[in-house]
């Protein structure tokens, strides 16, 4: 069994001062962490990487500085589940379809689990048979109404996801 902490859109320091302590606790307790972009600063990235004990898959969001050298997409496998991570761009209209299309291009499997951010809206749905997860904003940055993240458990190729909020 593997525990995966899934966060996005921390926006530190442009919109929030710091990642909430409870989010940090979840990152530290996880076997692996995912950040789907919009750290907003090198300092924020370094803090989250440290909390994740170096077990972090992170991608660039649309508000990340150019000096933050992260890929726009990444894929990895945990316990038989392939995750495809992208931030997402543009209008909320059509966002789910766009992130699935990006994941299908990047992933090595036909049906990855897509992890994306950008909208700050919590999402756990299927689009054309592909599961799409958006953990919202880990700091509650607007337009989110509260800080949220997912904690996933992967066991023998099966994925269970639980929403956490503060």
CATH number of domain containing 102: 3.60.21.10
| Euclidean distance between CA atoms 8 and 66, whole angstroms | 18
Percent of the chain with pLDDT over 90: 86
Q: Which pLDDT score is estimated for 91?
A: 86
- Count how many domains the chain has: 1
Q: What is the DSSP letter of 112?
A: P
Question: Within 13 A of 70's CA, how many CA atoms are on the CB side?
Answer: 30
Q: Which pLDDT score is estimated for 109?
A: 73
Confidence band, pLDDT 50/70/90 cuts, at residue 150:
very high
| Residue 19 structural domain | 2-165
Confidence band, pLDDT 50/70/90 cuts, at residue 48:
very high
Residue 125 belongs to what H/E stretch?
A: strand 122-127
pTM, two decimal places: 0.95
Lowest mean pLDDT among 101-110, 119-128, 135-144: 101-110
Q: Which pLDDT score is estimated for 24?
A: 97
Does residue 41 have a cis bond before it (omega within 30 degrees)? no
pLDDT beyond 90 at 111: no
Confidence band, pLDDT 50/70/90 cuts, at residue 154:
very high
Q: Which pLDDT score is estimated for 106?
A: 80
User: Average pLDDT for residues 12-24, to the nearest whole number?
Assistant: 94
* Total residues belonging to the chain: 166
Residue 62 belongs to what H/E stretch?
A: none
Confidence band, pLDDT 50/70/90 cuts, at residue 89:
confident
Lowest mean pLDDT among 22-36, 82-96, 130-144, 152-166: 82-96
Cβ-based neighbours of 54, under 8 Å, separated by 6 or more: none
Q: Which structure tokens are listed for 106?
A: 């990047």
């Amino acid at each position: 069994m593997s525990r995966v902490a899934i966060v996005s859109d921390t926006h530190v320091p442009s919109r929030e001062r710091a990642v909430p302590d409870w989010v940090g606790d979840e990152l530290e307790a996880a076997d692996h962490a995912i950040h789907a972009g919009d750290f907003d600063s090198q300092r924020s990235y370094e803090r989250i990487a440290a909390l994740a004990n170096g077990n972090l898959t992170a991608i660039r969001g649309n508000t990340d500085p150019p000096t933050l050298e992260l890929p726009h997409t990444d894929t990895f496998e945990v316990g038989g589940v392939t995750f495809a991570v992208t931030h997402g761009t543009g209008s909320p209209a059509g966002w789910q379809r766009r992130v699935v299309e990006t994941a299908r291009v990047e992933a090595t499997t036909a049906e990855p689990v897509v992890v994306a951010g950008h909208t700050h809206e919590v999402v756990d749905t299927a689009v054309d048979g592909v599961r799409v997860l958006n953990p919202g904003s880990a700091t509650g940055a607007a337009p989110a109404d509260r800080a949220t993240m997912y904690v996933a458990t992967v066991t023998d190729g099966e994925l269970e996801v639980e929403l956490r909020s503060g």
